[in-house]
Amino acid sequence: MAAVTIRRLADETHRALKMRAKANGRSAEAEMRAILDAAVRPEGRIKVGTEMRKLVEKYGGFDLDIQRDQTPAGTVTFE
């Protein structure tokens, strides 16, 4: 997972964040994660895979028979 540092956060914002976290029974860090998740991954967002499934279901769907190539990767030479 990535780590994020927020610099120069206003004292008022920090206090409000701590109060909001306490009201929700979470740490300030957990509250920030919840806020960021809600902001960048809203509930009504379009999910590409889900939309593709809906599209092909109209036509009876399809099965993908994908088999991984088991051939070992070759070595690299630097000459």
For residue 53, what pLDDT band results from cuts at 50, 70 and 90?
A: confident
Q: Which of 27, 25, 33 is nearest to 6 (CA)?
A: 33
State the architecture of 11-57 in CATH terms.
Orthogonal Bundle (1.10)
pLDDT in tens, 26-52: 999 999 999 998 898 878 778 888 888
Contact residues for 24 (Cβ-Cβ < 8 A; gap 6+): 31, 34
pTM: 0.54
- Both tokens of 57, joined, read 């279901």
Half-sphere exposure of 36 (CA within 13 A, CB side): 9
- Residue extents of the structural domains in the chain: 11-57
Distance CA 47, CA 66 (A): 22
